[in-house]
Amino acid sequence: MRALLVTTDFPPAVGGIQAVLYNTVRHFTRTGVVVVAPDHPDAQAFDENQSFPIYRVGPAQARSCAQRVYRLGRMTVESLRVLRREGADVVLCGHPFTAPIGLAAKRLLKKPYVVWTYASELVGRQRFLRRFLQPADAVLVISAHTRRLVTQLGVPIESLLLIPCAPDCGVYAGVCHPPSAVRSPLLLTVARMDDLHKGHDIMLRAMPLIAAKVPNVRWVVVGDGPLRSYYEKMAGALGVQDVVHFVGTLPRTERDRLLASCDVFVMVSRDRKIDGGGEGFGIVYLEANAFGKPVVAGRVAGALDAVVDDVTGLLVDPENELEVAEAVVSLLINPELAVRLGRQGQARVRDSFTWEKTATAVEEVLLRTLIQSRAC
């Protein structure tokens, strides 16, 4: 079997969807794959090191509606050409925005197509997405939250398959240490600053409460975006600018060093209609668990799948800074609890969330889809 992955999100571009798609297809064992993706300044060097062909078409960034339509048109033409030339059997649409390409392949070339869905892209675009998700042969969802959003589009429940993601790192081989009594306790968040729902503002409001209970605590925030200056001003207004460190985007090795050395990972995302927010899943929670760290997350959306309350972390009301502060403080002053949750989270990642498992599940869906389409 040979599959065509068509996606607007693929490395060397950086992001959660990029990591999901790349780590899945590179772990395929029974399926050949060919990729159609947008161009990127570093694409040539990246593509030359892959074991599968990648066809680049269209601009790397498509900000306006006209640019997105233009790119989709070019990718559609290229995908149909690649399907004929490469002899792919099934189309895997890596994002709902590429589902029109899958539908075109189904109608013109009789190829079945599968669509991968996440969360925020499903909000506010019901009319557009319904016409392309309903005819899909299968729809992959990454969490129960995503499944609810897709069913609201009228997609038959029997077409949906829940396939969770895996952390974009290996399981840390070191020892799970309790919060340090020697150095300053370290809280860590890794998230872009272009989404209001990520919860940086709530965590900022919680920091004075945390600092009052845990002297010398520090909060390091990895990530960048247009909201960074707003959060920096907010930290100053709350008087926590000396204990909150916005370090911007970091290389992977430096990010992993912080994951290995932090005491608690915190990202209190909430389900906000204001920006279509809410985590589709929350891979970063699993990444922190993979390093043996307990996590604090909002009790909403995809985090309910990524975090098991009082087993791998603590789930809180993401709109309540008092509850957030209490959860963080409880982990910092109770090292036995922190170590227990970190170790249990690490074991859960090792046993249940690997890219090998994800790839195998996706391959089974593609194969079943192909067999069913040929039987019709």
CB neighbour list of residue 44: distance below 8 Å, 6 or more residues apart: none
Q: What is the pLDDT confidence band of residue 177, given thresholds at 50, 70 and 90?
A: low
**Is 176 within a domain?**
no
**Is 172 within a domain?**
no
Q: What is the pLDDT of residue 51?
A: 94
CA 309 to chain CA centroid, Å, is 20
Q: In what order do the strands lie in the sheet with 32-37?
A: 54-56, 32-37, 2-6, 90-93, 113-116, 138-141, 160-162
**Is 178 within a domain?**
no
**Is 307 within a domain?**
yes
Please give the share of the chain, as a percent, with pLDDT higher than 90: 69
348 lies in the same domain as 232 = yes
pTM of the model: 0.83
**Is 230 within a domain?**
yes
Q: What is the pLDDT confidence band of residue 171, given thresholds at 50, 70 and 90?
A: low
pLDDT over 80 at 122, yes or no: no
285 lies in the same domain as 305 = yes
**Tally of structural domains, the chain:** 2
273 lies in the same domain as 295 = yes
Q: CA 301, CA 269: separation in Å to the nearest integer? A: 9
pLDDT over 50 at 3, yes or no: yes
Quick one: average pLDDT of 164-184? 62
Q: What is the pLDDT of residue 376?
A: 67
135 lies in the same domain as 279 = no
**Is 181 within a domain?**
no
Q: What is the pLDDT of residue 175?
A: 47
333 lies in the same domain as 208 = yes
367 lies in the same domain as 304 = no
**Is 110 within a domain?**
yes
Residue whose entry in the numeric block shows the structure tokens 């559609």:
76
Quick one: average pLDDT of 157-167? 88
Q: What is the pLDDT of residue 272?
A: 60
242 lies in the same domain as 115 = no
196 lies in the same domain as 83 = no
The predicted-structure confidence for 197-251, as pLDDT tens digits, reads as follows: 899 999 999 999 999 999 999 999 999 999 999 999 999 999 999 999 999 999 9
Read off the tokens for 46. Answer: 């990246």
325 lies in the same domain as 263 = yes
Read off the tokens for 126. Answer: 């019901």
358 lies in the same domain as 338 = no
Q: What is the pLDDT of residue 233?
A: 96
The pair phi, psi for residue 219, each rounded to 5°, is: -125, 115
Quick one: average pLDDT of 51-78? 89
pLDDT over 70 at 55, yes or no: yes
pLDDT over 60 at 308, yes or no: yes
26 lies in the same domain as 130 = yes
CB neighbour list of residue 191: distance below 8 Å, 6 or more residues apart: 198, 200, 221, 222, 223, 267, 269, 284
Q: What is the pLDDT confidence band of residue 312, given thresholds at 50, 70 and 90?
A: very high
**Is 17 within a domain?**
yes
> Which structural domain range is residue 371 located in?
2-166+354-375
66 lies in the same domain as 196 = no
CATH for 260: 3.40.50.2000
Q: CA 94, CA 115: separation in Å to the nearest integer? A: 6
